[in-house]
Amino acid sequence: MTLLQDKIAIITGAGRGIGAATAEAYARFGARVVVTDIDLDPAEATAARIRGAGGQVLALRCDVTKDGDIEELIGQTVSTFGGIDVLVNNAGYTWDGTLHKMTDAQWEAMIAVHLTAPFKIIRAASPYFREAAKAEIQQHGKARARKIVNISSTSGTRGNAGQANYSAGKAGIIGLTKTLAKEWGQFNVQVNAVAFGYIDTRLTQAKEKGEFTERDGSKIDLGIPEQMRQMATMMIPMGRPGTPEEAAGAVVFFGSALADYVSGQVLEVTGGM
């Protein structure tokens, strides 16, 4: 029996970075994984690696800011695997700017993806958490443990200049986490958040690479200036950014039975910062 044996886990934004590493780790520990991303190709690529390693996986396209995609995600998960045990709200990106120059679109996009989307996904999944637990309690006197893991950031726990929008979304998800832990504790659902510091992914790559992502017609630069990357590294006691695989470790912990009595917590994963 491995740590996540037969658990059904949804991981959003799992086409690359921390989400992909988390999906692969979950599968390695025995979970049946739903790998979703805004683009199907990267989701399929993660799923192919999981399948290649003998894991069970479903790849789906899901833009977490679109209501119809959320309904589809929950529906397809349940019709394929029969329920949901773990939901990891990981999908996201950054759209930085100093507050006095920040547009409404920049603000709204970050609140939408980092706070409203997790809220709507959890609400759509609630029958498979609350109602499923109620039925188990009625039948066996006890519900099995189910988990929600929300991905936050030290920008949310501590603030970060140039990221008022992102920080607000990542702080908001902590409030949601702590409140839901109180609402759903009675159903044996543990709700926790992981706040990462600096993890080496496309989100934090050198801006000089000139890559961008597109959202609703806006071109958004990816990455951060090389000088800031170096400064951020100097602040880390371990002297380096974390790898996506190291980041995934904390998400595995919260999704597993090792955390069955841990709820409403925020774990900072920062290399000691």
| Residue numbers at the binding site for ligand NDP (CB under 6 A) | 12-13, 15-19, 37-39, 42, 62-65, 90-93, 113, 151, 153, 196, 198-199, 201-204, 213
Is position 166 annotated as part of the catalytic site?
yes
- Please report how close the Cβ of residue 131 comes to ligand NDP at its closest, in angstroms: 26
CA dihedral sign, ordered 29, 30, 31, 36: positive
CB 251 within 8 A of CB 199: no
In angstroms, the CA 175 to CA 209 distance is: 35
- In the complex, the smallest distance separating the C-beta of residue 5 from ligand NDP, rounded to whole angstroms, is 26
Q: Are 267 and 219 in contact, with CB atoms under 8 Å apart?
A: no
Nearest residue to ligand NDP, using CB?
17
Query: In angstroms, what is the minimal distance from the CB of 198 to ligand NDP?
Result: 5
In the numeric block, the tokens 């029958």 are attached to 127
Beta carbon nearer to ligand NDP, 142 or 209: 209
Alpha carbons 257 and 202: distance in angstroms, whole number: 31
Q: What's the closest the beta carbon of residue 151 comes to ligand NDP, in angstroms?
A: 4
User: HSE of 29 in the Cβ direction (CA atoms, 13 Å)?
Assistant: 19
Contacts 24+ apart (CB under 8 A), 204-212: 204/229, 204/241
Nearer to ligand NDP, 122 or 133 (CB): 122
**Are 24 and 49 spatial neighbours (Cβ–Cβ below 8 Å)?**
yes
Question: In whole angstroms, how close is the CB of 121 to ligand NDP at the nearest point?
Answer: 10
The residue from 26, 93, 128, 166 that is catalytic is 166
Asked if 74 contacts 52 with a C-beta cutoff of 8 angstroms, the reply is no
Distance CA 102, CA 70 (A): 28
Q: Quote the least distance from Cβ 225 to ligand NDP, whole Å.
A: 14
Whether residue 234 contacts residue 226, with contact meaning beta carbons closer than 8 Å, is answered with no
Beta bridge partners of 190: 147
Complex with ligand NDP: residue 6 or 41, whichever CB lies closer: 41
Contact 260, 31 (CB under 8 A): no
Cite the active site residues. 166
